[in-house]
């Protein structure tokens, strides 16, 4: 099977590319490198010992998209590309609509024109909005309340409408909860520029001494310890879900949505304490007011994916924090060799 992967050098995309290559799929990656680096391609090559085609392309450039699709006959697209920070989306909503929605619209148009009618979309649990029910099933009404979640919901709707309008289309939207962790090789992981928007990159940068304290946004939520609760899932479990979805789409026509999560919620302080215990590193904390767009608690009911995709998250929270720190330490080691 020949696969086009958008955003394939990003955090989740790069881990997927490794798994896809290791599973025998032929992979082409496009990425505009806005939140990634060409060095990630070298790391993937090193891990897999397999080559793959790469093109530096922005999804907003439809002409370049057409060129890529005409250069190879793709069976399926796995769509990761897009801006992804909730708080950032509240500050820059138009950038998120332009990058995520218009970029996806271009992608779907090109796919439709050139008869590539299978797609796996990287969606998000933020489409559920300020949910009052946990765990969340796929039937829970969508009600996104921040621009990032709105863009994910809009793209889901575009894909669902395509599948309803044309029976040749088949698609899966995978609603991620909170991926953390890294490849155990220490060669790839999440490495945002500046102050991280997500919890685990922030923790490991504090542990590495890049920041003095971990800012915890919100200590007055209606949760056992006052901090937000999320469903944290190892990125390798997440990409395993994509491989299962690939095999599912090989014989499926229509549109399906699946939650990808562990089904368990952990608070911010749970994650910090687990990180400290497993890695023997102290994380100083500074409590700050809640961020715009954050909610108190959210975790998945992943039963649908377990039944239909035959997928289940198997890696523990200990493994997640261990692999995250291993990734950070490997970066520090590589940096010291360059001095």
- Indicate which residues carry an active-site annotation: 148
Give the Cα separation of 281 and 275 in Å (integer). Answer: 7
Contact (Cβ atoms closer than 8 angstroms) between residue 257 and residue 121: no
- Which residues are CB-neighbours of 270 under 8 A, at least 6 positions away? 225, 317
Give the Cα separation of 186 and 182 in Å (integer). Answer: 7
Q: What is the DSSP secondary structure assignment for residue 80, as one 8-state letter?
A: -
Contact (Cβ atoms closer than 8 angstroms) between residue 149 and residue 129: yes
Burial 283-319 (b: 16+ CB within 10 A, else e): bebeeeeeeebbbbbbbbbbebbeeebebebebebeb
What residue ranges in 127-196 does DSSP mark as E strands? 170-176, 178-180
Give the Cα separation of 213 and 219 in Å (integer). Answer: 15
Burial 116-134 (b: 16+ CB within 10 A, else e): bbbbbbbbbbbbbbebeeb
Contact (Cβ atoms closer than 8 angstroms) between residue 159 and residue 119: yes
- Which residues are CB-neighbours of 178 under 8 A, at least 6 positions away? 125, 198, 199, 230, 231, 232, 233, 261
Q: Tokens 């961020």 map to which residue?
A: 291
**Residue among 309, 313, 305, 300 nearest 137 (CA):** 300
SS3 333: helix
SS3 51: coil
């Amino acid at each position: 099977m020949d696969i086009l992967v958008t955003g394939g050098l990003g955090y989740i995309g790069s881990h997927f590319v490794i798994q896809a290559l290791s599973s025998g799929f032929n992979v082409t990656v496009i990425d505009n490198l806005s939140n990634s680096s060409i060095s990630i391609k070298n790391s993937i090559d090193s891990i897999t010992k397999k080559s793959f085609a790469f093109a530096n392309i922005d999804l907003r450039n439809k002409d370049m998209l057409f060129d890529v699709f005409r250069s190879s006959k793709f069976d399926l697209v796995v769509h990761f590309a897009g801006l992804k920070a909730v708080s950032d989306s509240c500050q820059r909503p138009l950038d998120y609509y332009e990058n995520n929605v218009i970029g996806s619209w271009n992608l779907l148009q090109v796919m439709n024109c050139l008869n590539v009618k299978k797609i796996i979309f990287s969606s998000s649990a933020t489409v559920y909005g300020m949910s009052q029910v946990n765990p969340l099933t796929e039937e829970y009404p969508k009600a996104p309340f921040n621009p990032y979640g709105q863009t994910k919901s809009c793209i889901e709707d575009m894909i669902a409408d395509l599948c309803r309008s044309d029976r040749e289309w088949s698609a899966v939207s995978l609603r991620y909860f909170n991926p953390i962790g890294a490849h155990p090789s220490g060669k790839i992981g999440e490495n945002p520029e500046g102050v991280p928007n997500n919890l685990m990159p922030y923790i490991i940068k504090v542990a590495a001494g890049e920041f003095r304290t971990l800012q915890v946004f919100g200590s007055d939520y209606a949760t056992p310890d006052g901090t937000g609760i999320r469903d944290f899932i190892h990125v390798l479990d997440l990409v395993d879900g994509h491989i299962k979805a690939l095999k599912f789409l090989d014989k499926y026509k229509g549109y399906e949505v699946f939650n990808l999560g562990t089904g368990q919620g952990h608070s911010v302080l749970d994650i910090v304490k687990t990180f400290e215990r497993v890695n023997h590193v102290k994380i100083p904390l500074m409590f700050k007011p809640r961020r715009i767009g954050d909610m108190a608690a959210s975790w998945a009911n992943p039963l649908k994916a377990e039944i239909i995709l035959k997928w289940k998250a198997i890696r523990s929270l200990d493994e997640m924090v261990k692999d995250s720190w291993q990734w950070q330490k490997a970066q520090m080691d590589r940096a010291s060799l360059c001095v």
